[in-house]
Chain A
Amino acid sequence: MINRKIGRWLIILFSIIVLLVCISFVSLWVGSVGIHLHEIFDILSKGEGTAEYSILFQIRLPRIILGFAVGGALSLAGAILQGMFRNPLVEPYTLGISGGASLGVCLNIIFKWHAVIGVIAFPLSGFVGSASVILFVYTLSLKKGILKTQGMLLMGVMISFISSSLVMLLMAISRSEDLHGIILWIMGSLEEPNMLLIKIAFWGSLLGLLLSYFYCLDLNALALGDEEAIHLGVNVEKTKRMLFLIASILTGFSVSVAGIIGFVGLIVPHFIRMFTGADHRILFISSFLAGACFLIFCDTLARTVIAPMELPVGVITGIIGGVVFIYALSKKQVML
């Protein structure tokens, strides 16, 4: 039985990894500058120096890596939060993290902090914004050392509203050139010139995946309810606190580097759950990898559909994700 289960899980993982590799290659290959598949080996053998080499390894590959990190992080965070709140409608942005981040970036654009400390000001202000929201929600929900998850959800939704209203207020009073920057950022993009940030996002998301596995069995038990989980010997408070922190930091990082890319964290864990069931041991890693696939795919579309112009990737994730999801729901009668 156990061998059969692990076998089934390995098949699922293997298929997602094959898909991921294929999508990554396609993404490397297509773009506004046409590079034929057989040319890739040519370019590789010639090495650095050619224009094609730069396009592949300095423009397209970093985007793929960032797509992997952000897509993986967002859908892992979604899987964690949906499990923790026992609510399939929760996504990383429900807790107000994205609202905080966009407020931070708005303030940065309007007060021109980036002129003082450089481009790093964008992700930095985004991260500070999301971190302060996380701390705020966390401390307010922490009563006598106990994390009140239901209150936390409401609080997160309220903070989302407040910060999006504040963002709108800032947009209303800002100059038009700032407005453009704010809108672009809010729509989200995987365009990130800073290689260091991409590396941080990549390793950070993998670290989050690793850490989440220390709590995946406890999260399985939490599906039965807090008290039942305590009866099974689970340290419910610690598990919830750690998972909340992991999910928040994953989201915070993604938002600060890539802006707000919606739907990934909501839809991918849902979709994967249809194949894997609710066991978080397989759900975590498959959500991560599938999220990576999904975002790389959407980003490839975003930059090729109206090339050489680019669509905001958040638009693509929303449309594709929503449509595929509704289709899958109507085909497979799965209770969520």
Chain B
Amino acid sequence: MKETLLAVENLSCGYGKEIVLHDVSCRVSQGELIGIIGPNGCGKTTFLRSIAGILKPQNGDIFLGGKSLSRIHRKDLAQKIAVVSQFAEPILMTVSEYILLGRLPYYRKYQLFETKQDEAIVQRYMELTDLMGLKEMFMNRISGGERQLASIARALAQEPALLLLDEPTSHLDITHQVKILGLIKQLNTELSLTVIMVLHDLNLASEYASRLFLLEKGTIYKTGTPEEVLTYRTIEEVYKTTVIVEKSPLSGKPYIFLVTEEAKKSPMGSPMRPEKTGASLHHEREMRRDHD
């Protein structure tokens, strides 16, 4: 068992009187790649924000490396946890200036200029994220996918122990989705960087995460490997939507197909037979497999 990096104990938090997370407990070990999934409004982002130290717990506590977040100074916390938000703002700043901001937590008091070391680190992560060609470009002149890459490079320049990402690919095309999630996976395996990311897309979560937290109505409904969490039964219970779960032909990870209202009603001969919900289709397939 690897060392526990993050421990969340009986966490309840929210905005003012409105409690979003109820009594959540979980542990994340060093080197894991956690995907947080769940329906809209289930508290995914709130969960991430409380781990990032933005939202203070109303009850319970969060420990990073055995130390309560509330006892870690904000600059030290920024050296340990980096956050990539959903959308990097198109600001008037060059890509290299932007990434250099990631070194801010390491500036000493009254230090006004970056050191050679800061520069070398920025250079390294710019190369890693394939942004060298854009370093003098302004953030508001590059594409959304490139901005997101720059945002990740900035987070990496913080040299964190824990990287948090809030739906890093939600606005992007599949090229950038694959590029960014591939990069995160690579960082996770090569640098054994611990990653927690909120993902909307269940198939991406299944493909990339080593463990999933499925949230529902502010509690953790289920945790486990993608195979354990992404069963049609669980998904239908939480999302209240009919789905079919198959295995991805390449990775063998669960792959979720949506079943449209139309397909449920469609006439004989179409791939989905009528009056069959995902559940009955699964049942039938499992029966068939047993016969074989």
Contact = CB atoms under 8 A, between A and B. Distances in A.
A279 interface: yes
Interface string B97-130: 1100110110100101111100100000000000
Contacts of A207: none
A216 B85 CA distance: 23
Contacts of A228: 83, 85
A33 B18 CA distance: 73
A296 B217 CA distance: 63
Given A2-B113, A230-B74, A233-B74, A224 B119 contact: no
Of A1, A235, A336, most B-chain CB atoms within 10 Å? A1
Contact of A231 (B82, B140, B141): B82
B152 interface: no
B119 A233 contact: no
B74 A277 contact: no
A234 B104 contact: yes
A221 B107 CA distance: 13
A2 B76 CA distance: 25
B94 interface: yes
A43 B98 CA distance: 54
A224 B101 contact: yes
B63 interface: no
Interface residues of A, number: 27
A232 B93 contact: no
B85 A217 contact: no
A2 B116 contact: yes
A233 B75 contact: yes
A221 B101 contact: yes
A232 B91 contact: no
Contact of B104 (A2, A217, A277): A217
Given A335-B138, A336-B92, A235 B74 contact: yes
B158 interface: yes
A281 interface: yes
Place the interface of chain B in its size category: 35 or more
B79 interface: yes
Nearest to B74: A233
B89 A231 contact: no
Interface in A274-315: 277-279, 281
A335 B89 contact: no
Contacts of A234: 74, 104
B105 A232 contact: yes
B267 to A, nearest CB: 52
A179 interface: no
A213 interface: yes
A40 interface: no
Nearest to A218: B104
Contact of B158 (A225, A232, A273, A281): A232
Given A230-B54, A231-B78, A232-B104, A2 B114 contact: yes
Interface string A1-30: 110001000000000000000000000000
A1 B112 contact: no
A335 B140 contact: yes
B64 to A, nearest CB: 14
A227 B97 CA distance: 18
Nearest to A230: B54
A223 B91 contact: yes
A242 to B, nearest CB: 15
B85 A227 contact: yes
Interface of A: 1-2, 6, 213-214, 216-217, 220-221, 223-225, 227-228, 230-235, 273, 277-279, 281, 335-336
| Nearest 4 Cβ contacts at the A-B interface | A233-B78, A233-B75, A233-B105, A231-B83
12 contacts: A214-B110, A223-B93, A224-B91, A228-B83, A230-B54, A230-B74, A231-B81, A231-B83, A232-B105, A233-B105, A277-B93, A278-B93
